[in-house]
Chain A
């Protein structure tokens, strides 16, 4: 009981000394808070940009290449049959917001100069595609396809000399409104008008061409019944993370074929974005180390300047534990105040870059940070601050009283 009373008394004095120390030199306090705040920023901001970049790459790939879930025919089959039935079943699954079947064919585009550019053609229902992909929102020139569009083609920007990002790939000299010769893989050659050029500033997605089913009926001389097939079916979900549930439900509905989540389907691209996540974590770790080192140095210098004072307090009979606790409490408050400042600083930066995204070759990149990242960073910073206060103070309190007083 006596020991408990002594601990409480020690805590009372430690808290009192810590608060007095904290607010005595306000400029010093502000400087430490700013430095810890910048440490917080360095821990989370760079990582949030990399996370944003990762998200952007994945989002574009999901938005054009795979959807959240992609159904492909079984290995021994060329097409998925009864697409309308699958469409209905998939749309009945909670979280599914769009289903778009594609019939993919090979084509060659030839411009007025005779330049050829091979491409993958996607025969689509434009309304269904708009619910699944981002193409309709990313028209660089001209217009998106309508349900009844015939005699027109939508092409990806990387297939055009004017809008392409990759010089190495073959491209044709066309823009919206121009005529272009299209050789289909069934041997049919047709002059089509370029209805629009789409582009997401992402090389992997801007290489496709699109026509409507109405146009396909003419080119391939087929009926609506014949087009109730697909080479692939892209499924869009309300949010990421529910793909496995959707796949499970699709299988429960007896839908055959190979069903992939976007992570599985993106393969190398997914490995790349996962690598970005590791880079993001390393960046955060380096930020943490820098923050810790900075806090440690700041508090160490602060403690060094207090050696005499520590010696005097020991001479007065204030025990080492109380003195140490007062420095730990001080550091804890540095951590809290610096963390709060850092949180608002980072929030401000995130808000600024959300309104004014960073324009990268891949397009506008928005910083992404989860609440849990803030919380984790805050606690890491807090623990770092406490340790950064504890170790220098522990060293100082071990010092001989006379050395501390007269050599401090």
Chain B
């Protein structure tokens, strides 16, 4: 089992990114030029009040959106200039996501949801089945792997989502308020799992949260307010 090490190797380098949303004559400046770095093995919390731009920041880092200006480097690759297909390939191979509302695929069982990214990567059947089963065991869903998402509780669904996000061993795991829809107990299970994967496997995690109670889980916090970094 790996033990947590932060070797100061930059894995995310954000350089002066801004994001503007244009709706008719209205321009909303969600991000107004922010820069920061995240190092390999860190568990970073992006925090700030509602509407501050923290989720927008996560979406830019996670290649779910394209910033209006600025540059983002992930593991040395400038991702802001990648083509659509390259971004897709990059997401599949390097990044994992956990959404606030789980977003598992309802037609697939827990096991199928987890092995889907591996199957998409072209891994052999024995490999993706084993990996998915192992991960589901790690998140405590050994007996629920053949259930569909609608047969699982919110906490269990989020654990499936977490396993899915980690199945392909991403360089960075992004989590957008993963406990916001869960009760305290289920939320703590998720946070402890995140901490476990961070500390024991060196998984880099960037998580958005507005819950001050969760500060204790993070190695470092990036605070955002009104689209700017709060110093």
Contact = CB atoms under 8 A, between A and B. Distances in A.
Interface of A: 5-6, 8-10, 12-13, 16-17, 20-21, 24, 308-309, 312-320, 322, 400-402, 405
Interface stretch (B6-14, B97-105, B220-228): B97-105
Contact of A314 (B88, B105, B112, B119): B88
- Across the A-B interface, give the 7 residue pairs with the lowest CB-CB distance, nearest first: A317-B92, A317-B91, A9-B122, A24-B107, A20-B107, A312-B103, A319-B88
A397 to B, nearest CB: 11
B89 interface: yes
Contacts of A320: 84, 88
Given A9-B122, A20-B107, A405-B103, A315 B65 contact: no
A96 B33 CA distance: 93
22 contacts: A5-B122, A6-B122, A9-B120, A17-B105, A20-B112, A24-B106, A24-B107, A308-B103, A312-B99, A315-B97, A316-B97, A316-B117, A316-B120, A316-B164, A317-B88, A317-B95, A319-B85, A401-B64, A401-B65, A402-B59, A402-B64, A405-B99
Nearest to B92: A317
Contacts of A322: 120
Interface string B108-126: 1000100011011110000
B218 interface: no
SS class of chain A's interface: helix, strand, loop or mixed? helix
A13 B90 CA distance: 18
B158 to A, nearest CB: 14
Nearest to B85: A319
Interface in B51-78: 59, 62, 64-65
A228 B102 CA distance: 96
A20 B113 CA distance: 11
B92 A318 contact: yes
Contacts of B106: 24, 309
B150 to A, nearest CB: 10
Contact of A317 (B99, B112, B117): B117
B15 interface: no
B93 interface: yes
A405 B104 CA distance: 12
B105 A309 contact: yes
Interface of B: 59, 62, 64-65, 84-85, 88-93, 95, 97, 99, 103, 105-108, 112, 116-117, 119-122, 164
A225 B104 CA distance: 96
A320 B65 CA distance: 16
Contacts of A313: 105
- The winner among A9, A24, A316 for most chain B CB atoms within 10 A is A316
B89 A317 contact: yes
Nearest to B119: A13
A324 to B, nearest CB: 13
A402 B93 contact: no
Nearest to A321: B85
A382 to B, nearest CB: 23
A183 to B, nearest CB: 85
A316 B65 contact: no
A9 B84 CA distance: 19
Given A308-B103, A309-B106, 12 more contacts: A9-B122, A20-B105, A20-B112, A21-B107, A309-B105, A312-B99, A312-B103, A315-B62, A315-B103, A316-B91, A316-B164, A401-B65
- The winner among A309, A315, A322, A405 for most chain B CB atoms within 10 A is A315
A20 B108 CA distance: 7
Contacts of B107: 17, 20-21, 24
B89 A319 contact: yes
B226 to A, nearest CB: 21
A111 B89 CA distance: 95
A6 B120 CA distance: 9
Nearest to B170: A317
Contact of B120 (A24, A315, A318, A400): A318
B144 to A, nearest CB: 18
Nearest to A16: B119
Nearest to B88: A319
Contacts of A317: 88-93, 95, 117, 120
Contacts of A6: 122
A65 B93 CA distance: 79
B105 A312 contact: yes
Contacts of B65: 400-402
Nearest to B103: A312
A308 B119 CA distance: 21
A318 B120 CA distance: 7
A319 B84 CA distance: 9
Nearest to B122: A9
Nearest to A19: B107
A315 B59 CA distance: 10
Contacts of A8: 122
A16 B117 CA distance: 12
Nearest to A313: B105
Contacts of B95: 317
Contacts of A24: 106-107
A6 to B, nearest CB: 7
A400 B59 CA distance: 12
B90 A316 contact: no
- The winner among A317, A400, A402, A405 for most chain B CB atoms within 10 A is A317
B168 to A, nearest CB: 8
A20 B97 CA distance: 22
Nearest to B59: A402
Contacts of B112: 20
Contact of A316 (B59, B84, B85, B92): B92
A308 B113 CA distance: 15
Contacts of A315: 62, 64, 91, 97, 103
